[in-house]
Amino acid sequence: MKLSNLKKILLNLAFRKSLYRNELGKELKVSPSTLTYLLNKLSSLKLIEIKSSETISMGRPKQIISLNPEKWNIIGIRIGREFINSTLFNGIFDVKEKISIRLTSSDMGNKRIGELLKQNLEKISKVPVNAVGLAFSGKVSFDTVNSHILKLENFNPKEIVKSVFPDSTVTILNDVEAIATEEFVLHGGQKILVINYGTGIGACFYESHGIYQKSERKVIDLGHFYAGGNEKCYCGRTGCFETVASDYAVLKKYKYRNLDIVHFILHQEDFEKDLEEIRHMYKYYRRKAEILYEETLNHLSVFLGNIVRLLEPDKVVICGEGTSPWFTQSLQKKIYAVSGLTLGIVHRGLENNIEYGSALDALREHILFTDL
């Protein structure tokens, strides 16, 4: 698709929040007079805001261009096992409002998740919404979601969103895709491998082709790779990676020898205190934590080392509630011991804003396919 310069300006501002006028001119490779025409057009539509920078030097102040905070409203939604979280952003991605609904085992399934999603959306201030991005723990194919954890089968959230915000552009993606999108926008990188580790394990390989072309995002269903063992997973298969290398596996080794992963996933909220205990054990009982996590780190180091050799990312990021600086450093050492790879892993922990990543994905789609 050939993009107009108007849309190129909007995309640059969506991804970079604000730019000086001369930076936009260099990016678009247009003359000053053409840039003036384009900016005046967008300004007349109230899509952008043009401000003069404060300067202490001689000469005319520089102009700073951004999306108009009042014209744009974008919603990012994260739907995971524990919460439905929605964040309303303005045009420069300042948070205007946050809504959260806690989920329990009785809330799983198409009907109940659908009802709670609609309730969540209806609590958001009634403003004109340009775009809504949803990120799910599960597999996304076009407009439908399938998730063993959430017990969703061919779930179509777009219809629910449209019933509340009929004029919005709606996109749906996997939660690790949203993390990878946020990582690219806020921290950069060309080929990024993101590992999301906790009670489950997911991964995404993000290869950027620039902001004008859709980046390639490959979701890696790492938690359900075959890793051996004879435990039946909640997905229906036997020997999945999550059964031997996850916070569930660590918890089982530590305290609940007869625990099975199907029961654990269904009643995860009952194990919150135990999970917090193992996740912080390294702070107080380092040697005990090393023994407890040894098998999980062994499995992760083999799988991650192989994936890195295959995909050759220029950045590896690990995040999720099950990670810590100690966990990340231990994994780096184990990968080197197993495969000889000197791998620098960026630890993000819980810094990642999945709602931001999903909202940005939706805004990009809105800009690309909306007539100006």
Q: Which domain holds residue 345?
A: 188-349
Domain boundary, last residue among 17, 43, 67: 67
Domain identity same for 204 and 316: yes
Q: Is residue 57 over pLDDT 60?
A: no
Domain identity same for 238 and 309: yes
Burial group, residue 361, by CB count within 10 angstroms (0-12, 13-18, 19+): buried
362 alpha carbon, distance to own chain's centre: 12
Two tokens at 303?
């799988």
pLDDT reported for residue 347: 93
pLDDT reported for residue 54: 67
Q: Is residue 254 over pLDDT 70?
A: yes
Domain identity same for 329 and 215: yes
Mean pLDDT of the chain: 91
pLDDT reported for residue 96: 95
Domain identity same for 153 and 260: no
Domain boundary, last residue among 49, 67, 85: 67
Domain identity same for 258 and 328: yes
pLDDT reported for residue 340: 86
Domain boundary, last residue among 21, 47, 67: 67
Domain identity same for 29 and 154: no
Domain identity same for 216 and 120: no
Domain count, the chain: 3
Domain identity same for 111 and 198: no
Domain identity same for 212 and 324: yes
Q: Is residue 56 over pLDDT 60?
A: no
Please state which of the ranges 254-258, 316-320, 323-327, 351-355 shows the lowest mean pLDDT. 351-355
Taking only Cα atoms into account, the Rg of the chain, rounded to an integer number of angstroms, comes to 23
Domain identity same for 195 and 334: yes
Domain identity same for 38 and 145: no
Residues 6+ apart with CB under 8 A from 15: 185, 211, 360, 364
Q: Is residue 72 over pLDDT 60?
A: yes
In degrees and rounded to multiples of 5, residue 95 shows phi and psi of -80, 125
Please state which of the ranges 55-59, 68-72, 185-189 shows the lowest mean pLDDT. 55-59
Please state which of the ranges 151-155, 267-271, 315-319 shows the lowest mean pLDDT. 267-271
Q: Say if pTM beats, i.e. exceeds, 0.85.
A: yes
Pairing of strands 191-197, 315-319: parallel
Residue 297: which CATH number? 3.30.420.40
Residues 6+ apart with CB under 8 A from 357: 76, 133, 135, 177, 178, 179, 180, 181, 182, 185
Report percent pLDDT > 90 for the chain.
79
pLDDT reported for residue 335: 93
Domain identity same for 85 and 29: no
